[in-house]
Amino acid sequence: MTVSGTPYAIEWAPNGKSLYYATVVTGTSSTYNIYKVNLGTSIYDFGIEDYKGDYYTGCVTSKRTSPTAFTFTTNFSSKFRTTLIGTFNERITNLAVSDNNKSLLLTTSDAVAGGKRVYLSSANIDVDNIDITLVTFTDKTANLPAIGVYCALFEMTDNKRVLLGTDRGIYSTDDITAGAPNWFDAKNNLLPNVQVFDIKQQKAASWDAYNSGMIYVATNGRGAWMNKNFLTQTVIGIEEREVIAKNTGLALYPNPTNGNVTLNFFAADNENVVVQVMDLNGRVIKSEAINHLNAGYTNHNFSATDLSNGVYIVNVSSSFGIKRVTKLIVSK
């Protein structure tokens, strides 16, 4: 289709199948359009073989009519297509897609009293061939103060929970699907009343990132801030932990043990660590701190005589964010 305006904001759906972007059409009064690019298949960055697909097959076909001329035919039923899904009078400041890929949330900077600043799509947008006739956007501004909104985030553990970056810090609601969502000040008297222009959450799994679930915000003149309310504890299977342990040089011996255990790993200079022994349900059975380590291999002895027979997970959490985990077998 013909795209109107200049693109200036863009957002991927989490599943990699759809791309959304906003354009501005300047004139006496500017208009703002939202487009969806449907790829029909997920795009991953794991290897060159993932890029072999002909994403535009069937979208446009061509035929040579002379040595120098072609005719083109557009297939509007193709699932590989760009579609217009919304038009607005306010400047769109941010696009956010829910983690189930079904909802698109838009924010605007219109801070005029009574102005609409938060919109939510009212249909499942994670379908092929969706267009403006199938999508409506509902005003979700409700009790939000008359302030500009610049960014938004669906919290990864709950598709109803949304956080907004505004002229006065962070506002949040626990249910964006409500007819009139209850927006509350989420700064907890810690973040200043400052403009927040970007907000991101670390959505990598807990076994891939030490800060899984952490939220970060970028402010106007007061630096970057983080929030640990949604931090996810690392709880993964024994096999995955063994792979991580192999990559970080963590070892236990003797293992299996019927008494004392020596923990060996390569430490960073002045690193502080906490050694935790957990059962397979993730419950911490015992914990010991080791502070101000010197660079190089470190041996630390601890007693397993108080542990019952079975399999345990040993997790060495680091002040530098280094992940070290392995399993311990107690057999008496």
Q: pLDDT for 278-317, tens place per residue?
A: 888 888 899 899 988 887 778 889 888 889 999 999 988 8
CB-based contact 215:225 (threshold 8 Å): no
Does residue 233 fall inside a structural domain?
no
pLDDT attached to residue 240: 46
What is the pTM assigned to this prediction? Answer: 0.62
**H or E element, residue 317:** strand 310-318
For 257, what's the count of Cα atoms within 13 Å in the CB-facing half-sphere?
Answer: 19
Weakest mean pLDDT among 170-174, 203-207, 222-226, 286-290: 203-207
Within this chain, do residues 208 and 271 fall inside the same structural domain, yes or no?
Answer: no
Residues 221 and 249 in one domain: no
DSSP 286: E
In one letter, which amino acid is 11?
Answer: E
Band of residue 141 on the pLDDT scale cut at 50, 70, 90: very high
Q: Which of 227, 261, 287 is the C-terminal boundary of a domain? A: 227
Indicate whether 91 belongs to any domain.
yes
* Tens digits of residue pLDDT in 2-44: 788 999 999 999 888 889 999 999 877 889 999 998 876 555 4
Tell me the CA distances in angstroms from 298 to 22, 24, 127, 241, 272, one per residue in order: 54, 59, 54, 20, 12
CA 54 to chain centre: 28
- The residue among 210 and 165 whose pLDDT is bigger is 165
Residue 166 sits in a domain whose CATH number is: 2.120.10
State the Cα–Cα distance between residues 136 and 130, nearest whole angstrom: 11
Burial bucket for residue 118 (CB in 10 Å: 0-12, 13-18, 19+): buried
Q: What whole-number distance in Å separates Cα of residue 101 and Cα of residue 130?
A: 14
Same domain, 202 and 255: no
Higher-confidence position of 225 and 79: 225
- Of the three residues 173, 208, 227, the one that is the final residue of a domain is 227
Are 218 and 272 within one domain? no
The domain containing residue 317 runs over which residues?
238-330
**21 and 170 part of one domain:** yes
Asked if residues 106 and 86 have their Cβ atoms less than 8 Å apart, the reply is yes
Biggest alpha carbon–alpha carbon distance for the chain: 87
Backbone φ and ψ for 313, nearest 5 degrees, come out as -110, 130
Same domain, 170 and 268: no
| 243 and 124 in a common domain | no
What is the Cα 162 distance to its own chain's centre?
A: 12
Q: Which residue has the tokens 């907004």?
A: 164
By the 8 A CB rule, do 298 and 262 touch?
A: no
Count Cβ atoms below 10 Å from residue 19 Cβ, excluding itself.
Answer: 18
Question: Considering the domain boundaries, does residue 174 fall inside one?
Answer: yes
Q: Are residues 128 and 204 in the same domain?
A: yes
